[in-house]
């Protein structure tokens, strides 16, 4: 049934349709609307039986789900940004223990400088925490991926993170098709744990493992990710046949037939990228794009297959690995090792900066002429950076960077001669 | 309190053989059907107070729950010595997650039981003083504040013993640890520091808080049993001497635990709904020196350069406890 609702509410309703039995909640922008909506569904009795627990930190939110999941309950929480980092230790623990927890991350930048807007710094920094990470392009896909996430998590007994771009998706009102309870029940069987705390069959969970078997136990987590590569495709196809719309899978190609240049990205920016591709195709440029849904496990074979005929790949990533550049681009180079494909990195959209079609077109033009710097920073205000480096170099006690950058920006924007903020053209 | 103090007049001691007690007052460990929740074969040191305390506490909780008990453990000595794979000593459903999250994991287990309509399955969380008063404190306070149906047991050996005896927020003043060494003008741990977690627990207004000691295992069992009769957040703080960390003879574990009570440094009491309701009276009061001098961690307070000022300050802490909790018998 179609609804015109906020992304957060759509996610909350989709999660409720999956019948979680324990939900923990700790507020952080921009995830708050999701857990608020779930809390109302539990309080009103619409989602029952379910225990909704307001905890004192994200570390506790994840820890509580570790206990609940180990005790055999289907579990859910949502977080963002600093919250995801605050649960870091528990994230590794949940995957190490093999607990099929499902969590939404409303993707948001990491401080300092504190910033509440969207990029992928949070989940990207937790890329090796052992969780499966699925990225939604739209609110419809966010709904669908949560339903698929429970099936995937429980089939492999591994936690799954559904990454939903903060504000861009969580706060966007879009038309979405919410499935019925029966549809979801038919797709998602009740949770049957592979390990459970049971008074009638006592087990020890979380024992210490020394060098004699630690590698093997860790490998078995890697093995689950290997299995997930196939299972994600399978669950996506099953979803399509039961719900009547394509959703999920590892990657999705867009107009890549005969494409010499392919843009690759995660999440909601794929909409802008596809429009850019359309415009460039109209101009005769042989270009397409690929949306990666599954960032972990990373679909090496699928990407190699999809990109093997491309001359160049441009990776748009909402993340900066200081001292390196891009992580997604590095991963794609691994998928393409041995091929002569050029892989460029565009760092874009950090801290909520808009990713504009015209800026992308400029970058693509540079890439086609082999003039794209590595990494390339989309719409970077180099005047501001040069000014700050000069200023800071003049004295030892140069003071806090962020405050000075903001001051310089305000002074320069007072002068209309020097536009420092990228504007839509 | 559920126990009566019985003096065995033939020998003049308080150590009473179970055969002299009424059947329902007999210690759980004396019963042939004792649960052995923490079974033999684990790797604790000789004279480990924590192993002894945990064995009695978890068995008592097991019996009180009718065998429907799940145990959540923080990282620490207890977790390490009881679980090296695949030699788990636990005969109960048991989970270890992290150092600082045992109370939250336990809340999760309790929430799952509630959601699944199994309120009679009970949850005990346990950890050492580091996992409780320091790194796990946030989660513990949250569990208390929500009044989640969990009994949390802290086995307090007064430092980070598992990592090699470093200071914790529960290390007593003047004690030597690997990070408060017996050097400089003020050797050992600082005065006027540290957390009194039983009192912090009481301040949360939770239904049951108690302290207990491995020197009085019957009282310890009775307190676990009393705690299990209540639903909601409950806290039990057990002092457990550590021969390794305290620099004490393994055969002195019980003696040290007893002297700690008898000198007034470790008050044994019970509190319900925010107020202290009973205290275990001191039987033969001793000076703090009697307790401290048996431990190498306090050796710098004695001998040629005895630190009388520090000893007076520690005695003042004991005197203050005795006055605050009214620990002396009326006749004394």
Domain that holds residue A283: 251-377
A215 in the same domain as A154: yes
* Domain CATH for A97: 3.40.50.970
Q: Does A72 touch chain B (CB under 8 A)?
A: yes
User: Are A232 and A152 contacting, i.e. CB atoms less than 8 angstroms apart?
Assistant: yes
Is the sign of the CA dihedral A156, A159, A161, A162 positive or negative? positive
Say whether B111 and A72 touch across the interface (CB within 8 A).
Answer: no
CB atoms within 10 A of CB A89: 18
pLDDT score of B31: 84
Flag whether pLDDT at A361 surpasses 80: yes
A327 in the same domain as A291: yes
pLDDT score of B14: 67
| Distance of alpha carbon B145 from alpha carbon B34, whole angstroms | 34
Q: Does B67 touch chain A (CB under 8 A)?
A: yes
Give the gyration radius of chain A's Cα atoms: 22
| Distance of alpha carbon B224 from alpha carbon B60, whole angstroms | 6
Nearest to A359 by CA among A351, A350, A348: A348
Interface A-B: count of C-beta contacts within 8 A? 158
Say whether A49 and B115 touch across the interface (CB within 8 A).
Answer: yes
Sheet (strand B94-96) strand order:
A204-205, B94-96, B69-73, B122-128, B151-156, B234-239, B208-213, B269-272, B275-279
Nearest to A159 by CA among A221, A106, A217: A221
Q: What angle do CA A59, A64, A68 make, to 5 degrees?
A: 150
pLDDT score of B52: 97
**What residues of chain A, 19 to 58, have a C-beta less than 8 Å from chain B?**
21-22, 24, 49-51, 53-57
Burial class from Cβ neighbours inside 10 Å (0-12, 13-18, 19+) for residue A216 reads exposed
Q: Does B124 touch chain A (CB under 8 A)?
A: no
- Token code pair at residue B17: 């053989």
Say whether A68 and B96 touch across the interface (CB within 8 A).
Answer: no
Q: Does A199 touch chain B (CB under 8 A)?
A: yes
The residue from A243, A274, A293 where one domain ends is A243
A281 in the same domain as A205: no
**Taking each helix axis from N to C terminus, what angle separates A58-70 and A88-97, rounded to the nearest 10 degrees?**
10
- Token code pair at residue B258: 């007893």
CB atoms within 10 A of CB B23: 7
pLDDT score of B19: 72
Flag whether pLDDT at A116 surpasses 60: yes
pLDDT score of B24: 75
Q: How confident is the model at residue A105 (pLDDT cuts 50, 70, 90)?
A: very high
A425, part of any domain: no
| Distance of alpha carbon A109 from alpha carbon B149, whole angstroms | 37
Q: Cis ω on the peptide bond leading into residue A113 (within 30° of 0)? A: yes
Say whether A67 and B107 touch across the interface (CB within 8 A).
Answer: yes
| Distance of alpha carbon B253 from alpha carbon B55, whole angstroms | 15
Q: Does A88 touch chain B (CB under 8 A)?
A: no
User: Are B242 and B157 contacting, i.e. CB atoms less than 8 angstroms apart?
Assistant: yes
A198, part of any domain: yes
- Of B21 and A24, more confident: A24
User: Are A383 and A391 contacting, i.e. CB atoms less than 8 angstroms apart?
Assistant: no
**What residues of chain A, 7 to 26, have a C-beta less than 8 Å from chain B?**
21-22, 24
Which positions in chain B touch A24 (Cβ < 8 Å)? 108
pLDDT score of B8: 63
**What residues of chain B, 146 to 205, have a C-beta less than 8 Å from chain A?**
146, 148
- Write out pLDDT tens, residues A177-231: 999 999 999 999 999 999 999 999 999 999 999 999 999 999 999 999 999 999 9
| Distance of alpha carbon A178 from alpha carbon B219, whole angstroms | 58
A394 in the same domain as A332: no
Nearest to B104 among A64, A210, A213 (CB): A64
pLDDT score of B1: 42
A390 in the same domain as A366: no
Flag whether pLDDT at A419 surpasses 90: no
- Write out pLDDT tens, residues A158-178: 999 999 999 999 999 999 999
CATH H-level superfamily of B35-325? Thiamin diphosphate (ThDP)-binding fold, Pyr/PP domains (3.40.50.970)
pLDDT score of B22: 77
The residue from A210, A243, A276 where one domain ends is A243
Extended strands (E) in A353-404: 376-377
Flag whether pLDDT at A352 surpasses 50: yes
**Three-state DSSP class for B297?**
helix
Distance of residue A58 Cα from the nearest chain B Cα, in angstroms: 10
pLDDT score of A367: 97
pLDDT score of A424: 47
Torsion of CA A149, A93, A40, A176, to 10 degrees: -20
The upper half-sphere exposure of residue A283, i.e. CA atoms within 13 Å in the direction of its Cβ, equals 12
Contacts of A200 (CB under 8 A, 6+ apart): none
A419, part of any domain: no
Say whether B98 and A89 touch across the interface (CB within 8 A).
Answer: yes
| Distance of alpha carbon B310 from alpha carbon A296, whole angstroms | 58
| Distance of alpha carbon B10 from alpha carbon A33, whole angstroms | 71
A373 in the same domain as A387: no
- Write out pLDDT tens, residues A239-265: 999 999 999 999 999 999 999 999 999
Nearest to A63 among B67, B86, B97 (CB): B97
Flag whether pLDDT at A416 surpasses 60: no
A401 in the same domain as A285: no
A115 in the same domain as A53: yes
A332 in the same domain as A189: no
User: What is the bridge-based pairing of β-strands B94-96 and A102-107?
Assistant: unpaired
User: Are B192 and B107 contacting, i.e. CB atoms less than 8 angstroms apart?
Assistant: no
Flag whether pLDDT at A271 surpasses 50: yes
Place of tokens 């590794």: A92
- Token code pair at residue B38: 């923490």
Which positions in chain A touch B84 (Cβ < 8 Å)? 207-208, 210
A81 in the same domain as A41: yes
Which positions in chain B touch A54 (Cβ < 8 Å)? 146
A270 in the same domain as A121: no
Residues A316-331: what's their mean pLDDT?
97
In a structure prediction context, what are the per-residue pLDDT tens digits for chain B, which is 332 residues long?
446 666 666 666 666 667 777 777 788 888 888 999 999 989 999 999 999 999 999 999 999 999 999 999 999 999 999 998 667 999 999 999 999 999 999 999 999 999 999 999 999 999 999 999 999 999 999 999 999 999 999 999 999 999 999 999 999 999 999 999 999 999 999 999 999 999 999 999 999 999 999 999 999 999 999 999 999 999 999 999 999 999 999 999 999 999 999 999 999 999 999 999 999 999 999 999 999 999 999 999 998 888 999 999 999 999 999 999 999 987 54
Q: Which residue in chain A has the smallest CA separation from B88?
A: A204
Tell me, what's the ipTM? 0.94
User: Are B325 and B211 contacting, i.e. CB atoms less than 8 angstroms apart?
Assistant: no
Q: Does A64 touch chain B (CB under 8 A)?
A: yes
Distance of residue A405 Cα from the nearest chain B Cα, in angstroms: 36
User: Are B197 and B133 contacting, i.e. CB atoms less than 8 angstroms apart?
Assistant: yes
Q: Does B70 touch chain A (CB under 8 A)?
A: yes
**What residues of chain B, 232 to 251, have a C-beta less than 8 Å from chain A?**
none
**pTM for this model (two decimals):** 0.95
Q: Does B119 touch chain A (CB under 8 A)?
A: no
Q: List helix spans (H) across A180-298.
A: 181-187, 214-243, 270-282
Q: How confident is the model at residue A418 (pLDDT cuts 50, 70, 90)?
A: low
Sheet (strand A376-377) strand order:
A251-254, A287-292, A261-266, A312-317, A342-347, A376-377
Extended strands (E) in B41-144: 69-73, 94-96, 122-128
Which positions in chain B touch A201 (Cβ < 8 Å)? 93
Which phi and psi (to 5°) does residue A176 adopt?
-130, 155
**What residues of chain B, 24 to 43, have a C-beta less than 8 Å from chain A?**
none
Torsion of CA B91, B93, B99, B105, to 10 degrees: -160
* Domain CATH for A346: 3.40.50.920
Helix and strand element counts for chain B (H, E)? 11, 8
Sequence spans of domains, chain B: 35-325
Per cent of chain A over pLDDT 90 is 96
C-alpha distances out from residue B326 to A148, B256, B277, B283, Å: 62, 21, 12, 13
Flag whether pLDDT at A45 surpasses 70: yes
pLDDT score of A425: 43
A423, part of any domain: no
A173 in the same domain as A130: yes
DSSP string, A42-65: HHTTSS-S-EEEE-SSHHHHHHHH
Which positions in chain A touch B109 (Cβ < 8 Å)? 67-68, 70-71, 197
| Distance of alpha carbon B208 from alpha carbon B147, whole angstroms | 11
What's the mean pLDDT when you consider all of chain A?
96
User: For chain A, how many structural domains are there in total?
Assistant: 3
């Amino acid at each position: 049934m179609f609804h015109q609702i906020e992304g957060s509410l759509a996610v909350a309703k989709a999660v409720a349709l999956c019948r979680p039995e324990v939900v923990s909640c700790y507020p952080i922008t921009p995830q708050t609307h999701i857990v608020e909506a779930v809390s109302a569904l539990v309080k009103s009795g619409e989602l029952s039986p379910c225990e909704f627990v307001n905890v004192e930190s994200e570390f506790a939110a994840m820890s509580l789900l570790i206990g609940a999941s180990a005790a055999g309950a289907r579990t859910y929480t949502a977080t963002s940004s600093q919250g995801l980092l605050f649960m870091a230790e528990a994230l590794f623990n949940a995957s190490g223990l093999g607990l099929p927890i499902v969590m939404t991350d409303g993707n948001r930048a990491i401080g300092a400088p504190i910033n509440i807007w969207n990029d992928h710094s949070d989940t990207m920094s937790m890329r090796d925490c052992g969780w499966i990470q699925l990225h939604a392009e739209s609110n419809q896909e966010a709904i669908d991926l949560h339903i698929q996430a429970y099936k995937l998590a429980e089939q492999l007994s591994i936690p799954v993170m559904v990454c939903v771009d903060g504000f861009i998706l969580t706060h966007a009102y879009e038309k979405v098709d919410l499935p019925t309870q029966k549809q979801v029940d038919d797709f998602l069987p009740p949770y049957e744990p592979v390990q459970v705390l049971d008074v009638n069959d006592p087990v020890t969970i979380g024992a210490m493992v020394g060098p004699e078997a630690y590698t093997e136990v860790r490998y078995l987590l890697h093995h689950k990710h290997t299995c997930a590569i196939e299972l994600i495709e399978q669950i996506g196809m099953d979803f399509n046949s039961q719900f009547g719309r394509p959703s999920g899978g590892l990657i999705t190609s867009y107009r890549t037939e005969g494409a010499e240049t392919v843009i690759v990205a995660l999440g909601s920016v794929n909409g802008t990228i596809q429009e850019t591709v359309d415009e460039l195709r109209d101009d005769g440029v042989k270009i397409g794009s690929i949306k990666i849904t599954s960032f972990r496990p990373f679909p090496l074979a699928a990407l190699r297959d999809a990109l093997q005929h491309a001359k160049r790949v441009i990776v748009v990533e909402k993340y900066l690995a200081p001292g390196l550049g891009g992580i997604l681009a590095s991963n794609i180079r691994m998928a393409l090792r041995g091929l002569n494909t050029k892989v460029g990195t565009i760092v874009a959209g950090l801290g909520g900066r808009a990713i504009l079609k015209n800026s992308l077109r400029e970058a693509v033009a540079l890439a086609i002429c082999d003039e794209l710097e590595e990494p390339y920073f989309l719409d970077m205000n180099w005047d501001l950076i040069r000014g700050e480096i000069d200023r800071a170099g003049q004295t030892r006690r140069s003071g806090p960077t962020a405050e000075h950058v903001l001051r310089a920006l305000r002074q320069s924007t007072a002068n209309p001669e020097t536009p420092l903020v990228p504007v839509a053209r | 309190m559920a126990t009566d103090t019985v003096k065995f007049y033939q020998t003049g001691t308080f150590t009473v053989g179970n055969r002299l007690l009424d059947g329902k007052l007999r210690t759980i460990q004396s019963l042939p059907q004792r649960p052995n929740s923490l079974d033999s074969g684990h790797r604790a040191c000789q004279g480990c107070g924590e192993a002894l305390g945990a064995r009695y506490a978890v068995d008592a909780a097991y019996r009180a729950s009718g065998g429907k008990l799940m145990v959540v453990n923080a990282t620490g000595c207890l977790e390490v010595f009881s679980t090296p794979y695949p030699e788990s000593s636990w005969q109960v459903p048991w989970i270890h997650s992290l150092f600082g999250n045992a109370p939250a994991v336990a809340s999760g287990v309790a929430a799952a039981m509630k959601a699944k309509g199994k309120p009679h399955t009970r949850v005990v969380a346990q950890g050492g003083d580091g996992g409780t008063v320091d790194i796990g404190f946030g989660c513990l306070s949250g569990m208390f504040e929500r009044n989640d149906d969990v009994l949390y047991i802290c086995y307090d050996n007064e430092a980070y013993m598992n990592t090699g005896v470093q200071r914790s927020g529960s290390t007593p003043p003047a004690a030597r640890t690997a990070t408060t060494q017996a050097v400089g003008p003020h050797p050992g741990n600082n005065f006027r520091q540290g957390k009194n977690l039983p009192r912090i627990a009481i301040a949360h207004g939770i239904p049951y808080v108690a302290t207990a000691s491995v020197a009085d295992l019957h009282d310890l069992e009775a307190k676990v049993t009393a705690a299990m009769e209540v639903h909601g957040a409950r806290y039990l703080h057990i002092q457990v001497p550590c021969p390794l960390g305290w620099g004490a003879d393994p055969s002195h574990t019980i003696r040290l635990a007893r002297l700690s009570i008898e000198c007034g440094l470790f008050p044994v009491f019970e509190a319900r709904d925010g107020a202290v309701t009973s205290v275990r009276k001191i039987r033969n009061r001793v000076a703090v020196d009697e307790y401290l001098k048996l431990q190498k961690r306090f050796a710098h307070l004695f001998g040629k350069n005895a630190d009388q000022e520090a000893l007076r300050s520690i005695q003042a802490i004991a005197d203050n406890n005795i006055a605050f909790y009214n620990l002396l018998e009326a006749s004394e």
